[in-house]
Protein backbone atom coordinates (compact mmCIF):
# COMPACT_ATOMS: atom_id res chain seq x y z
CA UNK A 1 0.00 0.00 0.00
CA UNK A 2 2.69 2.42 1.11
CA UNK A 3 4.59 1.84 -2.09
CA UNK A 4 1.58 2.36 -4.27
CA UNK A 5 0.73 5.60 -2.49
CA UNK A 6 4.32 6.72 -2.82
CA UNK A 7 4.61 5.91 -6.48
CA UNK A 8 1.30 7.55 -7.32
CA UNK A 9 2.44 10.61 -5.42
CA UNK A 10 5.57 10.56 -7.57
CA UNK A 11 3.49 10.18 -10.71
CA UNK A 12 1.31 13.11 -9.72
CA UNK A 13 4.24 15.31 -8.89
CA UNK A 14 5.82 14.54 -12.24
CA UNK A 15 2.52 15.51 -13.92
CA UNK A 16 2.51 18.73 -11.93
CA UNK A 17 6.08 19.33 -12.98
CA UNK A 18 5.07 18.91 -16.61
CA UNK A 19 2.24 21.37 -16.18
CA UNK A 20 4.80 23.76 -14.83
CA UNK A 21 6.60 23.36 -18.13
CA UNK A 22 3.40 23.98 -20.08
CA UNK A 23 2.83 27.20 -18.17
CA UNK A 24 6.43 28.25 -18.82
CA UNK A 25 5.93 27.51 -22.51
CA UNK A 26 2.89 29.74 -22.56
CA UNK A 27 4.72 32.55 -20.85
CA UNK A 28 7.77 32.23 -23.05
CA UNK A 29 5.87 32.00 -26.30
CA UNK A 30 3.94 35.17 -27.10
CA UNK A 31 3.69 34.00 -30.70
CA UNK A 32 0.25 32.41 -31.04
CA UNK A 33 1.47 30.62 -34.14
CA UNK A 34 3.96 28.76 -32.04
CA UNK A 35 1.53 27.77 -29.28
CA UNK A 36 -1.16 26.64 -31.69
CA UNK A 37 1.39 24.42 -33.40
CA UNK A 38 2.28 22.60 -30.25
CA UNK A 39 -1.20 22.37 -28.88
CA UNK A 40 -2.74 20.79 -31.92
CA UNK A 41 -0.02 18.68 -33.41
CA UNK A 42 0.29 15.35 -31.73
CA UNK A 43 4.02 15.53 -32.06
CA UNK A 44 6.52 13.53 -30.18
CA UNK A 45 6.72 16.38 -27.74
CA UNK A 46 6.70 14.64 -24.33
CA UNK A 47 4.46 17.35 -22.83
CA UNK A 48 1.75 16.81 -25.44
CA UNK A 49 2.02 13.12 -25.00
CA UNK A 50 1.66 13.48 -21.27
CA UNK A 51 -1.42 15.73 -21.59
CA UNK A 52 -2.95 13.17 -23.94
CA UNK A 53 -2.21 10.41 -21.49
CA UNK A 54 -3.75 12.37 -18.65
CA UNK A 55 -6.83 13.00 -20.75
CA UNK A 56 -7.10 9.34 -21.61
CA UNK A 57 -6.61 8.23 -18.02
CA UNK A 58 -9.63 10.09 -16.65
CA UNK A 59 -11.75 7.57 -14.77
CA UNK A 60 -15.51 7.80 -15.07
CA UNK A 61 -17.47 6.30 -12.21
CA UNK A 62 -21.25 5.88 -11.88
CA UNK A 63 -22.97 8.71 -10.00
CA UNK A 64 -25.01 6.12 -8.14
CA UNK A 65 -22.88 3.31 -6.73
CA UNK A 66 -24.98 0.20 -6.17
CA UNK A 67 -22.36 -1.28 -3.84
CA UNK A 68 -23.65 1.16 -1.22
CA UNK A 69 -27.35 0.49 -1.73
CA UNK A 70 -27.68 -0.50 1.94
CA UNK A 71 -25.99 2.64 3.24
CA UNK A 72 -27.26 5.05 0.60
CA UNK A 73 -27.62 7.90 3.08
CA UNK A 74 -24.69 7.39 5.42
CA UNK A 75 -20.96 8.02 5.17
CA UNK A 76 -19.97 9.11 1.70
CA UNK A 77 -23.41 7.94 0.42
CA UNK A 78 -23.92 6.06 -2.84
CA UNK A 79 -23.70 9.35 -4.75
CA UNK A 80 -20.11 10.07 -5.92
CA UNK A 81 -19.08 7.29 -3.55
CA UNK A 82 -15.34 7.54 -4.24
CA UNK A 83 -15.13 11.05 -2.81
CA UNK A 84 -14.78 11.92 0.86
CA UNK A 85 -16.56 14.94 2.26
CA UNK A 86 -14.88 17.91 3.83
CA UNK A 87 -15.94 18.04 7.47
CA UNK A 88 -15.80 21.34 9.28
CA UNK A 89 -17.02 21.51 12.83
CA UNK A 90 -20.78 22.20 13.06
CA UNK A 91 -21.13 22.50 9.28
CA UNK A 92 -22.87 20.23 6.79
CA UNK A 93 -20.44 17.90 5.02
CA UNK A 94 -19.60 19.12 1.54
CA UNK A 95 -17.30 18.74 -1.45
CA UNK A 96 -15.66 21.65 -3.24
CA UNK A 97 -13.97 21.59 -6.64
CA UNK A 98 -11.32 22.52 -7.56
CA UNK A 99 -9.57 22.36 -4.22
CA UNK A 100 -6.42 21.09 -2.64
CA UNK A 101 -8.36 17.95 -1.77
CA UNK A 102 -9.24 17.36 -5.42
CA UNK A 103 -5.61 18.13 -6.30
CA UNK A 104 -7.01 21.12 -8.15
CA UNK A 105 -9.04 18.96 -10.49
CA UNK A 106 -12.45 20.07 -11.69
CA UNK A 107 -15.60 18.04 -11.25
CA UNK A 108 -16.96 16.72 -14.56
CA UNK A 109 -20.33 15.05 -15.02
CA UNK A 110 -22.04 13.04 -17.74
CA UNK A 111 -25.43 13.27 -16.16
CA UNK A 112 -28.42 13.50 -18.47
CA UNK A 113 -30.16 10.28 -17.47
CA UNK A 114 -33.36 10.92 -15.53
CA UNK A 115 -34.32 7.40 -14.48
CA UNK A 116 -31.15 5.42 -13.80
CA UNK A 117 -28.43 7.02 -11.71
CA UNK A 118 -25.96 4.25 -12.54
CA UNK A 119 -25.98 5.44 -16.17
CA UNK A 120 -24.75 8.88 -15.14
CA UNK A 121 -21.12 9.32 -14.27
CA UNK A 122 -18.57 11.69 -12.82
CA UNK A 123 -14.84 12.20 -12.97
CA UNK A 124 -12.18 14.61 -11.83
CA UNK A 125 -9.94 16.24 -14.42
CA UNK A 126 -7.24 18.86 -14.52
CA UNK A 127 -8.25 22.01 -16.40
CA UNK A 128 -5.27 21.45 -18.75
CA UNK A 129 -6.45 18.00 -19.79
CA UNK A 130 -10.22 17.99 -19.67
CA UNK A 131 -12.03 15.05 -21.24
CA UNK A 132 -12.60 15.00 -25.00
CA UNK A 133 -15.36 17.47 -26.09
CA UNK A 134 -15.89 18.70 -22.54
CA UNK A 135 -18.09 21.76 -22.08
CA UNK A 136 -16.89 23.99 -19.27
CA UNK A 137 -19.66 25.65 -17.28
CA UNK A 138 -18.29 28.92 -15.94
CA UNK A 139 -18.91 30.37 -12.52
CA UNK A 140 -20.06 28.67 -9.35
CA UNK A 141 -22.35 25.64 -9.53
CA UNK A 142 -24.37 24.24 -6.63
CA UNK A 143 -24.76 20.48 -7.11
CA UNK A 144 -27.57 19.37 -4.81
CA UNK A 145 -28.06 15.67 -4.23
CA UNK A 146 -30.92 14.38 -2.12
CA UNK A 147 -32.13 10.90 -1.27
CA UNK A 148 -35.64 12.40 -1.00
CA UNK A 149 -36.69 15.14 -3.43
CA UNK A 150 -36.52 18.83 -4.27
CA UNK A 151 -40.32 19.11 -4.58
CA UNK A 152 -41.64 18.72 -1.05
CA UNK A 153 -41.25 21.82 1.15
CA UNK A 154 -39.53 19.99 3.96
CA UNK A 155 -37.26 17.72 1.91
CA UNK A 156 -36.44 20.48 -0.56
CA UNK A 157 -35.52 22.83 2.27
CA UNK A 158 -33.29 20.22 3.90
CA UNK A 159 -31.47 19.68 0.59
CA UNK A 160 -30.95 23.36 -0.20
CA UNK A 161 -30.40 24.96 3.23
CA UNK A 162 -26.75 23.75 3.47
CA UNK A 163 -25.94 25.85 0.39
CA UNK A 164 -27.40 28.90 2.12
CA UNK A 165 -25.12 28.21 5.06
CA UNK A 166 -22.12 27.64 2.78
CA UNK A 167 -22.75 30.97 1.06
CA UNK A 168 -23.04 32.75 4.44
CA UNK A 169 -19.55 31.55 5.21
CA UNK A 170 -18.21 32.44 1.78
CA UNK A 171 -18.86 36.15 1.24
CA UNK A 172 -22.56 35.53 0.52
CA UNK A 173 -21.61 34.12 -2.90
CA UNK A 174 -24.44 33.40 -5.30
CA UNK A 175 -24.31 30.44 -7.65
CA UNK A 176 -24.60 30.72 -11.42
CA UNK A 177 -26.65 27.53 -11.60
CA UNK A 178 -28.13 24.62 -9.69
CA UNK A 179 -27.65 21.01 -10.70
CA UNK A 180 -30.18 18.72 -9.04
CA UNK A 181 -29.86 14.97 -8.55
CA UNK A 182 -32.03 12.38 -6.85
CA UNK A 183 -30.55 8.87 -6.59
CA UNK A 184 -28.03 9.98 -9.23
CA UNK A 185 -30.86 10.85 -11.63
CA UNK A 186 -30.99 14.36 -13.09
CA UNK A 187 -33.88 16.59 -12.05
CA UNK A 188 -34.93 19.76 -13.83
CA UNK A 189 -36.77 21.68 -11.18
CA UNK A 190 -37.49 22.30 -7.56
CA UNK A 191 -41.01 22.47 -6.19
CA UNK A 192 -42.51 25.93 -6.40
CA UNK A 193 -42.16 26.72 -2.67
CA UNK A 194 -38.54 25.52 -2.58
CA UNK A 195 -37.78 27.40 -5.76
CA UNK A 196 -39.27 30.59 -4.31
CA UNK A 197 -37.38 30.45 -1.05
CA UNK A 198 -34.12 29.90 -2.96
CA UNK A 199 -35.05 32.76 -5.30
CA UNK A 200 -35.63 34.96 -2.25
CA UNK A 201 -32.18 34.03 -1.06
CA UNK A 202 -30.04 33.90 -4.21
CA UNK A 203 -32.14 35.58 -6.91
CA UNK A 204 -33.26 33.84 -10.08
CA UNK A 205 -30.88 30.92 -10.68
CA UNK A 206 -30.97 28.59 -13.67
CA UNK A 207 -31.46 24.88 -13.03
CA UNK A 208 -29.00 23.15 -15.36
CA UNK A 209 -30.40 20.72 -17.89
CA UNK A 210 -27.08 19.90 -19.65
CA UNK A 211 -28.71 20.97 -22.90
CA UNK A 212 -25.67 22.31 -24.78
CA UNK A 213 -24.87 18.91 -26.26
CA UNK A 214 -23.72 15.56 -25.02
CA UNK A 215 -20.90 16.92 -22.93
CA UNK A 216 -19.31 15.85 -20.62
CA UNK A 217 -19.78 18.98 -18.57
CA UNK A 218 -17.04 20.29 -16.28
CA UNK A 219 -17.60 22.94 -13.65
CA UNK A 220 -15.24 25.84 -13.19
CA UNK A 221 -16.20 25.83 -9.49
CA UNK A 222 -18.63 23.48 -7.79
CA UNK A 223 -20.00 22.83 -4.32
CA UNK A 224 -21.63 19.43 -3.81
CA UNK A 225 -23.96 18.71 -0.88
CA UNK A 226 -25.32 15.18 -0.37
CA UNK A 227 -26.25 14.94 3.32
CA UNK A 228 -29.09 17.46 3.62
CA UNK A 229 -28.47 19.34 6.88
CA UNK A 230 -26.00 16.61 7.84
CA UNK A 231 -23.81 17.52 10.78
CA UNK A 232 -24.71 21.20 10.80
CA UNK A 233 -24.74 22.41 14.42
CA UNK A 234 -27.76 23.97 16.11
CA UNK A 235 -26.34 27.50 16.18
CA UNK A 236 -25.69 27.40 12.46
CA UNK A 237 -29.13 26.03 11.71
CA UNK A 238 -30.63 28.93 13.63
CA UNK A 239 -28.51 31.34 11.56
CA UNK A 240 -29.66 29.74 8.31
CA UNK A 241 -33.32 29.90 9.33
CA UNK A 242 -32.94 33.52 10.48
CA UNK A 243 -31.52 34.42 7.10
CA UNK A 244 -34.20 32.50 5.18
CA UNK A 245 -36.92 34.23 7.22
CA UNK A 246 -35.35 37.63 6.64
CA UNK A 247 -34.87 37.06 2.89
CA UNK A 248 -38.35 35.62 2.35
CA UNK A 249 -39.98 38.57 4.10
CA UNK A 250 -37.95 41.04 2.03
CA UNK A 251 -38.81 39.15 -1.14
CA UNK A 252 -42.51 39.34 -0.28
CA UNK A 253 -42.41 43.03 0.62
CA UNK A 254 -42.86 42.47 4.36
CA UNK A 255 -40.76 44.22 6.98
CA UNK A 256 -38.07 41.64 7.65
CA UNK A 257 -38.10 42.42 11.37
CA UNK A 258 -41.63 41.02 11.56
CA UNK A 259 -44.58 42.93 12.87
CA UNK A 260 -42.92 43.99 16.12
CA UNK A 261 -44.92 44.46 19.32
CA UNK A 262 -48.58 44.66 18.44
CA UNK A 263 -51.11 45.78 21.05
CA UNK A 264 -54.86 46.40 21.00
CA UNK A 265 -56.55 49.70 21.89
CA UNK A 266 -56.23 48.84 25.59
CA UNK A 267 -52.52 48.18 25.30
CA UNK A 268 -52.93 44.40 25.61
CA UNK A 269 -50.55 42.40 23.36
CA UNK A 270 -52.22 40.78 20.35
CA UNK A 271 -51.83 36.99 20.10
CA UNK A 272 -52.37 35.63 16.63
CA UNK A 273 -53.48 32.00 16.43
CA UNK A 274 -53.51 30.38 12.98
CA UNK A 275 -55.16 27.10 12.06
CA UNK A 276 -53.19 25.96 9.03
CA UNK A 277 -55.53 23.49 7.33
CA UNK A 278 -54.88 20.81 4.72
CA UNK A 279 -57.20 19.20 2.21
CA UNK A 280 -57.45 15.44 1.67
CA UNK A 281 -54.72 13.45 3.38
CA UNK A 282 -54.21 14.27 7.05
CA UNK A 283 -56.91 16.90 7.09
CA UNK A 284 -59.25 17.13 10.08
CA UNK A 285 -62.27 14.85 9.79
CA UNK A 286 -64.39 17.65 11.10
CA UNK A 287 -62.61 20.94 10.45
CA UNK A 288 -65.53 23.10 11.53
CA UNK A 289 -65.75 21.59 15.00
CA UNK A 290 -61.97 21.86 15.41
CA UNK A 291 -62.22 25.51 14.38
CA UNK A 292 -65.02 26.05 16.91
CA UNK A 293 -62.92 24.63 19.75
CA UNK A 294 -59.99 26.90 18.99
CA UNK A 295 -62.20 29.93 18.37
CA UNK A 296 -63.90 29.47 21.73
CA UNK A 297 -60.59 29.28 23.60
CA UNK A 298 -59.22 32.25 21.70
CA UNK A 299 -62.28 34.30 22.58
CA UNK A 300 -61.58 33.80 26.27
CA UNK A 301 -58.16 35.43 26.04
CA UNK A 302 -57.98 39.18 25.65
CA UNK A 303 -56.01 40.15 22.54
CA UNK A 304 -56.33 36.73 20.88
CA UNK A 305 -57.17 36.77 17.16
CA UNK A 306 -57.85 33.55 15.23
CA UNK A 307 -57.21 33.01 11.54
CA UNK A 308 -58.16 29.84 9.65
CA UNK A 309 -56.36 29.27 6.32
CA UNK A 310 -56.15 26.50 3.75
CA UNK A 311 -52.43 26.08 3.16
CA UNK A 312 -53.03 24.60 -0.32
CA UNK A 313 -54.71 27.82 -1.47
CA UNK A 314 -51.89 30.18 -0.54
CA UNK A 315 -49.18 31.52 -2.84
CA UNK A 316 -45.63 31.46 -1.49
CA UNK A 317 -45.79 35.06 -0.35
CA UNK A 318 -49.22 34.60 1.19
CA UNK A 319 -47.74 31.77 3.25
CA UNK A 320 -44.90 34.04 4.34
CA UNK A 321 -47.40 36.80 5.21
CA UNK A 322 -49.72 34.53 7.17
CA UNK A 323 -46.86 33.06 9.17
CA UNK A 324 -45.20 36.42 9.82
CA UNK A 325 -48.51 37.29 11.46
CA UNK A 326 -48.72 34.14 13.56
CA UNK A 327 -47.71 33.49 17.16
CA UNK A 328 -49.24 30.04 17.43
CA UNK A 329 -49.75 27.72 14.47
CA UNK A 330 -51.96 24.67 14.94
CA UNK A 331 -51.82 22.22 12.07
CA UNK A 332 -51.92 18.53 11.18
CA UNK A 333 -48.52 16.95 10.58
CA UNK A 334 -47.39 17.73 7.04
CA UNK A 335 -45.03 19.65 4.80
CA UNK A 336 -47.16 22.83 5.09
CA UNK A 337 -45.76 23.19 8.62
CA UNK A 338 -42.33 23.87 7.09
CA UNK A 339 -43.75 27.40 6.86
CA UNK A 340 -43.19 27.69 10.60
CA UNK A 341 -39.79 29.16 9.82
CA UNK A 342 -41.45 32.40 8.70
CA UNK A 343 -42.86 33.10 12.17
CA UNK A 344 -40.90 35.32 14.54
CA UNK A 345 -38.50 33.37 16.72
CA UNK A 346 -40.03 31.75 19.83
CA UNK A 347 -43.46 31.36 18.22
CA UNK A 348 -45.43 28.19 19.01
CA UNK A 349 -46.46 25.04 17.15
CA UNK A 350 -49.27 22.60 17.96
CA UNK A 351 -49.22 19.46 15.82
CA UNK A 352 -51.82 16.75 15.11
CA UNK A 353 -51.40 13.19 13.85
CA UNK A 354 -53.89 10.67 12.52
CA UNK A 355 -54.28 7.29 14.18
CA UNK A 356 -51.36 4.91 13.68
CA UNK A 357 -48.48 7.38 13.47
CA UNK A 358 -47.46 7.09 17.10
CA UNK A 359 -47.15 3.31 16.82
CA UNK A 360 -45.74 2.89 13.33
CA UNK A 361 -44.13 6.08 12.00
CA UNK A 362 -40.82 5.77 13.85
CA UNK A 363 -38.69 8.77 14.70
CA UNK A 364 -39.47 10.46 11.39
CA UNK A 365 -42.70 11.75 12.91
CA UNK A 366 -40.64 14.10 15.08
CA UNK A 367 -39.07 15.88 12.09
CA UNK A 368 -41.18 19.00 12.55
CA UNK A 369 -40.51 19.03 16.25
CA UNK A 370 -36.80 19.05 15.42
CA UNK A 371 -37.39 21.73 12.83
CA UNK A 372 -39.06 23.86 15.49
CA UNK A 373 -35.91 23.59 17.62
CA UNK A 374 -33.68 24.30 14.63
CA UNK A 375 -35.60 27.37 13.56
CA UNK A 376 -35.87 28.84 17.07
CA UNK A 377 -39.56 28.01 17.64
CA UNK A 378 -41.32 26.34 20.54
CA UNK A 379 -43.00 23.03 19.78
CA UNK A 380 -45.89 22.86 22.24
CA UNK A 381 -46.57 19.17 21.82
CA UNK A 382 -48.62 16.96 19.58
CA UNK A 383 -51.88 15.03 19.68
CA UNK A 384 -52.10 11.51 18.29
CA UNK A 385 -55.60 10.45 17.34
CA UNK A 386 -56.35 7.22 19.23
CA UNK A 387 -59.40 6.43 17.11
CA UNK A 388 -59.53 4.90 13.64
CA UNK A 389 -59.36 1.67 11.67
CA UNK A 390 -56.90 -0.95 12.86
CA UNK A 391 -54.06 -1.95 10.62
CA UNK A 392 -54.71 -5.43 9.13
CA UNK A 393 -51.15 -6.67 9.77
CA UNK A 394 -50.19 -5.10 13.13
CA UNK A 395 -46.70 -6.64 13.22
CA UNK A 396 -45.55 -5.09 9.97
CA UNK A 397 -44.59 -1.49 10.80
CA UNK A 398 -43.94 -0.37 7.27
CA UNK A 399 -47.19 -1.84 5.99
CA UNK A 400 -49.08 -0.29 8.91
CA UNK A 401 -47.41 3.06 8.43
CA UNK A 402 -48.45 3.13 4.79
CA UNK A 403 -51.95 2.04 5.83
CA UNK A 404 -52.26 4.97 8.27
CA UNK A 405 -49.98 7.55 6.64
CA UNK A 406 -52.61 9.61 4.87
CA UNK A 407 -55.46 9.04 7.28
CA UNK A 408 -57.62 11.88 8.56
CA UNK A 409 -57.37 13.47 11.97
CA UNK A 410 -60.27 13.37 14.41
CA UNK A 411 -60.52 15.44 17.55
CA UNK A 412 -61.07 15.32 21.27
CA UNK A 413 -62.90 18.48 22.29
CA UNK A 414 -61.88 18.26 25.94
CA UNK A 415 -58.22 17.67 25.22
CA UNK A 416 -58.00 20.32 22.48
CA UNK A 417 -59.67 22.94 24.66
CA UNK A 418 -57.42 22.31 27.66
CA UNK A 419 -54.30 22.21 25.53
CA UNK A 420 -55.17 25.41 23.65
CA UNK A 421 -55.93 27.20 26.90
CA UNK A 422 -52.53 26.21 28.28
CA UNK A 423 -50.59 27.28 25.16
CA UNK A 424 -52.47 30.58 24.93
CA UNK A 425 -51.54 31.27 28.52
CA UNK A 426 -47.86 30.51 27.91
CA UNK A 427 -47.81 32.77 24.87
CA UNK A 428 -49.71 35.52 26.66
CA UNK A 429 -47.01 35.62 29.36
CA UNK A 430 -44.19 35.78 26.80
CA UNK A 431 -45.97 38.59 24.96
CA UNK A 432 -46.55 40.56 28.14
CA UNK A 433 -42.92 40.21 29.08
CA UNK A 434 -41.84 41.27 25.60
CA UNK A 435 -44.13 44.29 25.69
CA UNK A 436 -42.71 45.43 29.02
CA UNK A 437 -39.14 44.78 27.96
CA UNK A 438 -39.95 46.48 24.67
CA UNK A 439 -37.89 44.57 22.18
CA UNK A 440 -38.16 47.17 19.47
CA UNK A 441 -34.39 47.50 19.35
CA UNK A 442 -33.97 43.76 18.81
CA UNK A 443 -36.52 43.85 16.04
CA UNK A 444 -34.56 46.53 14.24
CA UNK A 445 -31.43 44.46 14.48
CA UNK A 446 -33.23 41.62 12.73
CA UNK A 447 -34.24 44.02 9.99
CA UNK A 448 -30.98 43.66 8.07
CA UNK A 449 -30.38 40.27 6.52
CA UNK A 450 -26.81 39.07 7.04
CA UNK A 451 -26.44 38.25 3.34
C1 LIG B 1 -11.78 8.42 2.26
O2 LIG B 1 -11.78 8.11 3.67
C3 LIG B 1 -11.48 6.75 3.91
C4 LIG B 1 -11.69 6.49 5.38
O5 LIG B 1 -11.30 7.59 6.16
C6 LIG B 1 -10.09 6.42 3.42
O7 LIG B 1 -9.79 5.07 3.66
C8 LIG B 1 -10.00 6.72 1.92
O9 LIG B 1 -8.69 6.54 1.46
C10 LIG B 1 -10.43 8.14 1.62
N11 LIG B 1 -10.52 8.32 0.18
C12 LIG B 1 -10.08 9.39 -0.45
C13 LIG B 1 -10.28 9.41 -1.93
O14 LIG B 1 -9.56 10.32 0.12
C1 LIG C 1 -68.88 17.98 12.85
O2 LIG C 1 -69.17 18.08 14.23
C3 LIG C 1 -70.37 18.79 14.51
C4 LIG C 1 -70.53 18.96 16.01
O5 LIG C 1 -69.53 18.37 16.74
C6 LIG C 1 -71.54 18.01 13.93
O7 LIG C 1 -72.73 18.68 14.16
C8 LIG C 1 -71.32 17.85 12.42
O9 LIG C 1 -72.33 17.03 11.86
C10 LIG C 1 -69.97 17.23 12.14
N11 LIG C 1 -69.70 17.26 10.72
C12 LIG C 1 -69.30 16.20 10.05
C13 LIG C 1 -69.05 16.41 8.59
O14 LIG C 1 -69.11 15.13 10.59
C1 LIG D 1 -36.91 33.29 23.17
O2 LIG D 1 -37.23 32.78 24.47
C3 LIG D 1 -36.11 32.62 25.30
C4 LIG D 1 -36.60 32.04 26.61
O5 LIG D 1 -37.28 30.84 26.38
C6 LIG D 1 -35.41 33.95 25.52
O7 LIG D 1 -34.26 33.76 26.29
C8 LIG D 1 -35.02 34.54 24.17
O9 LIG D 1 -34.49 35.84 24.34
C10 LIG D 1 -36.21 34.64 23.25
N11 LIG D 1 -35.77 35.04 21.93
C12 LIG D 1 -36.35 36.01 21.23
C13 LIG D 1 -35.75 36.32 19.89
O14 LIG D 1 -37.33 36.61 21.64
C1 LIG E 1 -60.26 13.16 25.56
O2 LIG E 1 -59.35 13.90 26.36
C3 LIG E 1 -59.58 13.85 27.73
C4 LIG E 1 -58.66 14.85 28.41
O5 LIG E 1 -57.36 14.58 28.12
C6 LIG E 1 -59.45 12.43 28.22
O7 LIG E 1 -59.69 12.36 29.61
C8 LIG E 1 -60.38 11.53 27.45
O9 LIG E 1 -60.18 10.19 27.80
C10 LIG E 1 -60.21 11.70 25.97
N11 LIG E 1 -61.25 10.99 25.25
C12 LIG E 1 -60.98 10.06 24.34
C13 LIG E 1 -62.15 9.44 23.69
O14 LIG E 1 -59.83 9.75 24.05
Are 223 and 85 contained in the same domain? yes
Tell me, in angstroms, the distance from the centre of ligand 1 to residue 119's CA.
24
24-28, 45-49, 226-230, 392-396: lowest mean pLDDT where? 24-28
- Do 224 and 321 fall into the same domain? no
Q: Is 3 among the domain residues?
A: no
Task: Grade residue 11 by pLDDT with cuts at 50, 70 and 90.
Answer: very low
226 and 335 part of one domain: no
Instruction: Indicate if 210 and 281 belong to the same structural domain.
Output: no
Decide: 32 in ligand 4 pocket, CB within 6 A: no
pTM of the model: 0.86
Please check whether residue 226 lies inside any domain of the structure: yes
pLDDT of residue 40: 45
**Ligand found nearest the CA of 75:** 1
Range of the domain at 378: 271-446
282 and 191 both lie in a single domain: no
**Total domain count, the chain:** 2
My answer on whether 192 and 293 are in the same domain is: no
Tell me: do 222 and 281 sit in the same domain. Answer: no
Look at residue 6 in the predicted model and tell me its pLDDT.
Answer: 42
Pocket test for ligand 3, best of 239, 343, 345 (most atoms within 8 A of CB): 345
Residues 418 and 332 in one domain: yes
Which ligand has the nearest atom to the CA of 4?
1
Query: Does any domain span residue 185?
Result: yes
Within a domain: 4: no
Whether the pLDDT of residue 353 is over 50: the answer is yes
Dist. CA 412 → ligand 4 center (Å): 6
Asked whether residue 302 falls in the same domain as residue 441, the answer is yes
Q: Percentage of residues in the chain with pLDDT exceeding 70? A: 88
| Cα 247 to ligand 3 centroid, rounded to whole Å | 21
Residue 394 lies inside a defined structural domain of this protein: yes
Instruction: Place 272 in a pLDDT band, splitting at 50, 70 and 90.
Output: very high
Q: If you take atom 5 of ligand 3, which residue's CA is the nearest one?
A: 346
Asked if 287 and 362 sit in the same domain, the reply is: yes
Q: 419 lies in a domain?
A: yes
Q: What's the pLDDT band for 75 if we cut at 50, 70, 90?
A: confident
pLDDT category at 261 given cuts 50, 70, 90 is confident
- Check whether residue 306 and residue 172 sit in a common domain: no
- Out of 180, 215, 232, a domain closes at 232
- Would you say residue 32 has pLDDT above 50? no
34 lies in some domain:
no
How many A from CA of 234 to the centre of ligand 3? 15
Say if residue 217 is in the same domain as residue 348. Answer: no
Report the 3 state secondary structure along the chain.
Answer: CHHHHHHHHHHHHHHHHHHHHHHHHHHHCCCHHHHHHHHHCCCCCHHHHHHHHHHHCCCCEECECHHHHHHCCCCCCCECCCCCCECCCCCCCEEEECCCCCCCCEEEEECCCCCCHHHCEEEEECHHHCCCCCEEEEEEEEEEEECCCCCCHHHHHHHHHHHHHHHHHCCCCCCCEEEEEECCEEECCCCHHHHHHHHHHHCCCEECCCCCCCCCEEEEEEEEECCCCCCCCHHHHHHHHHHHHHHHHHHCCCCCCCCCCCECCCCCECEEEEEEECCCCCCECCHHHHHHHHHHHHHCCCCEEEEEEEHHHCCHHHHHHHHHCCCEEEEECCHHHHHHHHCCCCCEEEEEECCCHHHHCHHHHHHHHHHHHHCCCEEEEEEECCCCCCCCCCCCHHHHHHHHCCCCECCCHHHHHHHHHHHHHHHHHHHHHHHHHCCHHHHHHHCCCCC
**CATH number, residue 389:** 3.40.50.360
Amino acid sequence: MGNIAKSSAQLISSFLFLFGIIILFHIKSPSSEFSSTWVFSRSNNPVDTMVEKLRDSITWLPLKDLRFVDSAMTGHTWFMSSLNDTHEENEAEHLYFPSEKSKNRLLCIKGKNTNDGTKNSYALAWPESLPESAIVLKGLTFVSYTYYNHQNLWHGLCATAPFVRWAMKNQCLKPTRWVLFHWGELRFKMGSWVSNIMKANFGEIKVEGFDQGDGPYCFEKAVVMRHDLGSMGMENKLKVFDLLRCKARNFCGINSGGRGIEVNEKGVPIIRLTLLMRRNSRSFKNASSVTDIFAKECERVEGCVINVVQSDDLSFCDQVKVMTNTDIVASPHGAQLTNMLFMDRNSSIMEFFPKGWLEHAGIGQYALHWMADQSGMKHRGAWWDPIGDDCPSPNDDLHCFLFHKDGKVGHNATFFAEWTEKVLDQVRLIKLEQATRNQVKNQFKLDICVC
